[in-house]
Every structure is written in structure tokens, then in C-alpha cells.
């Protein structure tokens, strides 16, 4: 049954953890672990920090209202280079998405805005992916381009005038296009049990790379999790 036509409710519980090797200077990268709940029926889909409300489809294209919590935050104690800066908070982002499923690949696009007004920013992502299977193992490579506006860059990568120091100049960036490549591996050793591994690398655009808070051009991430489906 196609995902957009799913009428029975399905849900699962599990746990996931991972680490983002962020591009900030001397950043204290930490492993994060969280419980995970998934739920899906004809109208909604919940997966970890994301919530989709399904809208009527148009042929092979499905449409969603989307909400997603993005953990982009940092605290002043996360790096010696952040000393004296105000904390930057994570936000819940809301907007819309469209997904086109063909026999070759899946193409998705989303546009989200900061519902908590921490950054007051907007972000958009265009992604192509395809899942390959070999017995109980699934492989899903992906390629994505993400646009973030100047408000997002200012909030998470900018230095305000009252935060500037001789060694940390004020910085106000413009919008940025970041590119990502990734791979998700899922393994179902027995029915209802799934173990997954996700790896990705995101190359930041020049407006982020030019920030005095940044010392790397590429952010790497790895995640591992387990899910039991009822």
C-alpha cells in the first residue's frame, strides 16, 4: 500500500543517538540520545522530532503540512570562542512539503519558517533519494541542497555588535546554500525490529564559512537507533 493511502494506524517505539561534528571553532561536540516514537495513519505521520499532516495528493505527488524541531542551538559554554555571547536556542519549524515518488527516485521539497521566532528565519530544502534493498538490509543514499536566509545565518553564525571582541569581530551574514550527501542503512533481523545507521556530510555555503565563529567548511553527522514496530 502506498504511504499516502495508508488507512490503518501503525506505531513504534525505540531509541536513537548520535553526534554532529559541527563547524564552529573549538566546539564541544557531544553524543545525544533520545527516546523515539513513530506513528502513522491516513492523516498524520510522526517520526522522532517531526510531524506531518497529510494533504490530498495529486497523482504521484503528495503534499504535507510539516512541523520539525531542529536542534541548531549552542550555549556560550560550548566553545571558548563563544565566551560572552548570548546563547542561541533551538526552534520548532513549520511549513509545507511536497514529495514526488517515481520508479527511479523520490524528490522532495520543503519550506519552513521559525515558529518560535528565535531566529525569525526561513529555510528550504530540495532532496533526492532512493532506497535499495538486499534481503533484510535497506540502503538509502540521498543528496540535498538547503537554503537558509540571512536571519538564520545572523542568529546561528553571526556576531552581534555587543558581542564583538578584537579576536571575534562583528559579523552579519547573508543567505546561504548548503549541500548535503548522506546514507541511511536499515536492517530488519526479524519482523518488527529495525536497527538503523545514518551518516551525512553537509558542506556550508560561503556566508556561513566566512563567519568568525566557524573554522570548518563541512559538518559531519552520524546516528544510530533501534525501533520496534507494533
Each residue of 118-171: pLDDT tens digit? 999 999 999 999 999 999 999 999 999 999 999 999 999 999 999 999 999 999
Total structural domains within the chain: 1
Look up residue 155 and give its three cell numbers.
542568529
Average pLDDT over residues 173-183: 98
Average pLDDT over residues 33-37: 93
pLDDT confidence bin for 4, thresholds 50/70/90:
very low
pLDDT score of 1 more than 80: no
The enclosing domain of 203 has a CATH number of 2.40.230
Please name which of 8, 15, 3, 7 lies closest in space to residue 227, comparing C-alpha atoms.
15
% residues pLDDT > 90 (the chain): 94
CA distances in angstroms from 148 to 83, 157, 168, listed in the order given = 26, 12, 23
Outline where the chain has alpha helix (H).
150-157, 206-209
Task: Tell me what pLDDT residue 3 has.
Answer: 44
pLDDT confidence bin for 102, thresholds 50/70/90:
very high
d(CA 169, CA 140): 42
Average pLDDT over residues 45-51: 94
What pLDDT digit, counting tens, does each position of 49-90 carry? 999 999 999 999 999 999 999 999 999 999 999 999 999 999
pLDDT score of 5 more than 90: no
Q: What is the DSSP letter of 5?
A: G
Predicted structure pTM score: 0.92
Burial degree of 191 (CB within 10 A; 0-12, 13-18, 19+):
exposed
Neighbouring C-beta atoms of residue 91, cutoff 10 Å: 24
Task: Tell me what pLDDT residue 30 has.
Answer: 87
Burial degree of 47 (CB within 10 A; 0-12, 13-18, 19+):
middle
d(CA 188, CA 193): 6
Q: What is the DSSP letter of 178?
A: E
Average pLDDT over residues 40-55: 96
Average pLDDT over residues 81-107: 97
Q: What is the DSSP letter of 104?
A: S
Task: Tell me what pLDDT residue 2 has.
Answer: 43
Average pLDDT over residues 6-13: 86
Task: Tell me what pLDDT residue 8 has.
Answer: 84
Angle ∠(77,80,85) on CA atoms, nearest 5: 60
| Structural domain harbouring 30 | 3-229
pLDDT confidence bin for 7, thresholds 50/70/90:
low
Amino acid at each position: 500500500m502506498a504511504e499516502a493511502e495508508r488507512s490503518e494506524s501503525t506505531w513504534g517505539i525505540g531509541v536513537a543517538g548520535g553526534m554532529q561534528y559541527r563547524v564552529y571553532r573549538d566546539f564541544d561536540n557531544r553524543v545525544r540520545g533520545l527516546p523515539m516514537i513513530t506513528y502513522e495513519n491516513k492523516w498524520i505521520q510522526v517520526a522522532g522530532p517531526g510531524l506531518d499532516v497529510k494533504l490530498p495528493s495529486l497523482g504521484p505527488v503528495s503534499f504535507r503540512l510539516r512541523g520539525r524541531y531542529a536542534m541548531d542551538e549552542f550555549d556560550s559554554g560550548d566553545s571558548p570562542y563563544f565566551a560572552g555571547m548570548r546563547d542561541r536556542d533551538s526552534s520548532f519549524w513549520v511549513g509545507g512539503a511536497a514529495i514526488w515518488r517515481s520508479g527511479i527516485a523520490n524528490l522532495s521539497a520543503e519550506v519552513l519558517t521559525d515558529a518560535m521566532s528565535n531566529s525569525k528565519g526561513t529555510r528550504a530544502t530540495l532532496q533526492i533519494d532512493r532506497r535499495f534493498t538486499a534481503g533484510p538490509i535497506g540502503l538509502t543514499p540521498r543528496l540535498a541542497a538547503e537554503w537558509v536566509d540571512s536571519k538564520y545565518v545572523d542568529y546561528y553564525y553571526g556576531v552581534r555588535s555587543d558581542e564583538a571582541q578584537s579576536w571575534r569581530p562583528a559579523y552579519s551574514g547573508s543567505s546561504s546554500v548548503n549541500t548535503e550527501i548522506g546514507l541511511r542503512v536499515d536492517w530488519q533481523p526479524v519482523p518488527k525490529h529495525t536497527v538503523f545507521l545514518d551518516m551525512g556530510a553537509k558542506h556550508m555555503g560561503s556566508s556561513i564559512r566566512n563567519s568568525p565563529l566557524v573554522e570548518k567548511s563541512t559538518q559531519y553527522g552520524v546516528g544510530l537507533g533501534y525501533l520496534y514496530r507494533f
